Amino acid sequence: MTMRILYVLTSLGIGGAERQTLAVASRMAQRGHTVSLLVLRPELTEEWPTSLPVVHLNMRKAPWRVLASLLAGRRFLRQFQPDLIHSHCFHANLVARLLRRAIPSARLLCTIHNVYEGGWHRMLLYRLTDRRLTRTTAVSGAAMRRFVACGAVAAAKCMVVGNGIDVDAFAPCPSRRTAMRTEMCTRAEFIWLAAGRITPAKDISNLLRAFTLIGSSHPDARLWVAGAPTEEEFEKVNTLARELGVTGSVCWLGLRRDLPALMDAADGFVLSSAWEGMPLVVGEAMAFEKPVVATDAGGVRELVGDAALVVPIRDPEALATAMGKVMEMTAEERSALGRAARTRMLDQFSMEAKACEWEALYGAVLSE
């Protein structure tokens, strides 16, 4: 059965939720379904590329612009006539619930990508509009449990569908590793990579404090941080790095399009988040056979299983201990941990398997 599927996103900015949505949407189009994207925000300077049809509503905060965007979205829905609408993250989820009235016959599926999507007022809006959707999915059990517990979603309509990893795109390449380490003027140093938008959720302050603690015993350690920061957040973490005296060992890479090459070049991957949904970047590092140290945020433990070191959130001492443990492993031990990580991604989180799971769910939702 072919379907007409509309994906609704807040933006196509460089983020994990956006990349995951585009990966699933592309695979649905490859399988013969008619797919289109409805994006709330105007086109950004930095976006994930896609060959799928995209309609931008150019929504802004001014009330009249919100109303104009909603009317434009309503017209597009009536033109596209989707069988199923699949929205992602708070703003897109809420707008999709409002727009569904234009096509009452369409099924609406909303996905939650984090354990935290805002305060009580947002949870109240979720609760008040829950009757307008057919099904809610969450990227992890931790996210689902939190939203059900606070009454934002109905337990009977909620289920977990984890993120998928493109294990072929994120595979080790020795020549790429050598080239990137040469470009970065790296020799024998042990490189830790952290990646993701620099926001309070990523708790880079926690990482910097942990990195400071391992400096005395591992002076050859270096930390690369890849991700687009807000000006305020970058000033905060850069100031902390200066106060801790680690500016010479920390490299702020900013937004990078060559994350696979950076992962290849790194010796280990570290996630210091205070809260998460199910971080794609951790799965990608595992697909690269990198030893991973991560905080126990959101669905991290569900993702990594026994193939990574997991520590409590907001505990720089525990994070430093785990990072030191990885650095003190032999090369063979780190390789074994990395191989186990990739095997887990292949067996349980491949993107093709997740695309099949989504396609089956879409069919089930349409048949309800």
Structural domains of the chain ordered from first start = 4-164+350-367 (3.40.50.2000), 174-348 (3.40.50.2000)
pLDDT for position 46? 86
Q: What is the pTM of this model?
A: 0.87
Q: Report, as ranges of residue numbers, the positions in the chain whose pLDDT lies below 70.
A: none
pLDDT for position 16? 87
pLDDT for position 228? 85
Residues in CB range of 364: below 8 A, 6 or more apart? none
Q: Tens digit of pLDDT for each residue in 165-224? A: 999 989 999 999 999 999 999 988 999 999 988 999 999 999 999 999 998 899 999 999
pLDDT for position 233? 87
Measured from the Cβ of residue 47, the count of other Cβ atoms closer than 10 Å reads 16
pLDDT for position 202? 94
Measured from the Cβ of residue 134, the count of other Cβ atoms closer than 10 Å reads 16
pLDDT for position 197? 86
Residues in CB range of 228: below 8 A, 6 or more apart? 14, 46, 197, 198, 254, 255
Mean predicted lDDT score pLDDT of the chain:
95
pLDDT for position 61? 85
Q: Tens digit of pLDDT for each residue in 68-102? A: 999 999 999 999 999 999 999 999 999 999 999 99
